[in-house]
Structure 1
Amino acid sequence: MENSYPLPRRLRASIPRRFLRTRACAAAPWDLTSLDTVVREYSLDDPGPMANAVKIAGRYGIKRHVLIPAFALCWAMGRRNGDADLEHTGKVGLTGVVATALVAEVIKRQLCRSRPVDCGDAGEWGTEGARSFPSGHAGTAFATATAIACTAGDRRIGAAAFAAAGVLAGGRVIADRHWTTDIMAGAALGTAVTALAAYWLNRRPDA
């Protein structure tokens, strides 16, 4: 599968490296770069049209600038119409997606992991401006799924939301924009942050 976002290696050579970040993220006994490499090689083999569909869905199906207004609208409409469930879903979703995005941005700026499409080396950390870890798309997808699962009242709906989030997030690996561990970290972050948001909002008297 041809990469859509190549960065010429001659440009990479001029990018400054963060020495401390690189040392902190050096290979460890529990290093998962081999998993990242194996999954990437399999994904680039282009398994078929289904993989291409997932790649496109992963790119266009997870957009914070769409989800944030959507959850805000749910919040406003729920409050206006006296629908407590819709209002609560909007609160949890909006808080979870925004908080996940902020935390992910801080981590990205600190660890500076290079994207697979840019370097092909799962062990490259500390490159100034690199933003692969964690996956913001995965964080947003799982934050949305967690908000739905925490407020839907039906486990089947929650399970479907998480399944959809997994497929959409996986599209970022197929598109060669993220390593598998980027997706795993983003998914864990989005789930944890939104679950904490739901817990916090449930404890508030006016929630």
Structure 2
Amino acid sequence: MPVCNVHHGLLNPYANKKIKPEIFALLPDDVYIQLNLDTINRVERVNEWIDELMGCWSSGVRNCGKKPDHFDAMKKQFIYTIIIFSFLSRIGFAQSWEEIRQDMIATGDVGIGLWDAMIHPSKDTQMAYLIGGSVVALSFLADRSIADFSQMQQSPAADKLFGIDKYYGSVYTVAGSGALYLAGFFSGNQKIKDMGLHTAQALLYTGILTIVTKELFGRARPYTDLGPYHFSPFSFSDDRRSFFSGHTSTAFAFSTVMAGEIDNIFWQIFWYGAATLTAGARIYHNKHWFSDVVAGALVGYAVGRFVVNYNGNTTVGASVSPEQQVPQIQLTIRF
């Protein structure tokens, strides 16, 4: 049996412990690679390590006079597995999964806190409900006129400007949240990881509220030509999911968390500007009424602000009442 020792002598909790992980089931039955986990401790050495490993593996197989079956496909699977394995091994499997588990628990805690704040509202939250509900109700009055105006402004330049909703507020925003978390996790950058975690929390609970509300109201979209006051609850049809705008709520949830992570006015203007442009794009593309995007913006902002408050980030004036165990949903208007 050919034996291949690949060893860089890097520091690792599992150094000098020769193992046969389950991932080596990918190898031919008569090939056993004796691997020290310290070879994959450093992410920046992964490519170098893989080159050496694959050369050693190929050499070992040839020396035993056997032509491996499906070698290329297995090699690709092996490399992908080892890359993931090497990333996690920088702090050890147990530590890595414990960190992820704690983040999942924290996400659950945020959800419980948000639910409690919604069904047991403080005076501030009750005021937020009153103001927000009034704003949305008044916005219904402008739905038809704004829809007609937006459809008269169609142009190639506007098409490009409002093309933002293809990316922001869509599944790409969710992917961006995941990318932030993974980048922070693998690099050991806690700030980046927290951005990913907090945006994911905001997107998760905003998404739940959005889906439930859309089905509950069953509002017809503008392009159906049924008017702004046509509702068919629980229609389970995309044509009846106008209220409220999911793109807008998603964009504002993400932007609110990102704006709350760094205390910089230009940073905050960028994120809120992107969310506002996304809201405008939904009206421009005749997908939503004005009141849909107003409600979506308020919900996304409220959930995003709750997440920022809950996680203790107060860089942009967030406040948590000392009498409460969890932050409340608040609407603050500054002039």
* Alignment TM-score, normalising by the size of structure 2: 0.49
Q: What's 1:183 paired with?
A: 293
Q: What's 2:192 paired with?
A: 86
Give the letter for the 1:39 counterpart: I
Q: What's 1:111 paired with?
A: 217
Once residues 95 and 33 of structure 1 are traced to their aligned partners in structure 2, the CA distance between those partners, rounded to angstroms, is 30
1:45 matched to 2:155: no
Give the letter for the 2:263 counterpart: G
Instruction: Give the gaps of 5 or more residues in structure 2.
Output: 1-136, 314-335
1:167 matched to 2:167: no
- Residue aligned with 1:202, SS: coil
CA contact (8 A) 1:113 1:132 kept: yes
Q: What's 2:177 paired with?
A: 71
1:141 matched to 2:247: no
Which protein has the larger Cα radius of gyration, Structure 1 or Structure 2? 2
Which has the higher mean CA deviation after the structures are superposed, 177-186 or 65-74? 65-74
Q: Render the CA deviation track for 1:57-99: whole Å, top value 9, x for unaligned.
A: 22x1225432223212212322332322211111111111121
CA shift for structure 1 position 47: 4.7
CA contact (8 A) 1:54 1:168 kept: no
Instruction: Give the gaps of 5 or more residues in structure 1.
Output: 1-29
Give the letter for the 2:199 counterpart: G
Structure 1's consecutive aligned runs of 4 or more residues displaced over 4 angstroms after TM superposition are none
1:153 matched to 2:153: no
Once residues 32 and 156 of structure 1 are traced to their aligned partners in structure 2, the CA distance between those partners, rounded to angstroms, is 29
- Residue aligned with 2:273, SS: helix
CA contact (8 A) 1:139 1:190 kept: yes
CA shift for structure 1 position 198: 1.9
Q: What's 1:6 paired with?
A: none
Once residues 153 and 90 of structure 1 are traced to their aligned partners in structure 2, the CA distance between those partners, rounded to angstroms, is 17
Once residues 218 and 138 of structure 2 are traced to their aligned partners in structure 1, the CA distance between those partners, rounded to angstroms, is 17
CA contact (8 A) 2:139 2:294 kept: no
Give the letter for the 2:153 counterpart: D
* Superposed CA RMSD: 1.9
Give the letter for the 1:55 counterpart: F
Once residues 175 and 66 of structure 1 are traced to their aligned partners in structure 2, the CA distance between those partners, rounded to angstroms, is 19
- Residue aligned with 2:220, SS: coil
Q: What's 2:302 paired with?
A: 192
Once residues 170 and 187 of structure 2 are traced to their aligned partners in structure 1, the CA distance between those partners, rounded to angstroms, is 25
CA shift for structure 1 position 178: 0.2
Which has the higher mean CA deviation after the structures are superposed, 90-99 or 60-69? 60-69
Once residues 145 and 32 of structure 1 are traced to their aligned partners in structure 2, the CA distance between those partners, rounded to angstroms, is 22
Q: Render the CA deviation track for 1:151-184: whole Å, top value 9, x for unaligned.
A: 1231210111101111122111011000011001
Structure possessing the higher relative contact order (Cα contacts under 8 Å, 6 or more residues apart): 1
1:36 matched to 2:36: no
Q: What's 1:125 paired with?
A: 231
Once residues 196 and 158 of structure 2 are traced to their aligned partners in structure 1, the CA distance between those partners, rounded to angstroms, is 32
Distance of aligned partners of 1:55 and 1:70 in 2 relative to their CA distance in 1, 3 Å threshold: closer
In the alignment of these two chains, the number of paired residues is: 173
CA contact (8 A) 2:257 2:305 kept: yes
CA shift for structure 1 position 37: 0.5
CA contact (8 A) 1:79 1:87 kept: yes
- Residue aligned with 2:259, SS: helix
Once residues 53 and 120 of structure 1 are traced to their aligned partners in structure 2, the CA distance between those partners, rounded to angstroms, is 28
CA shift for structure 1 position 31: 5.0
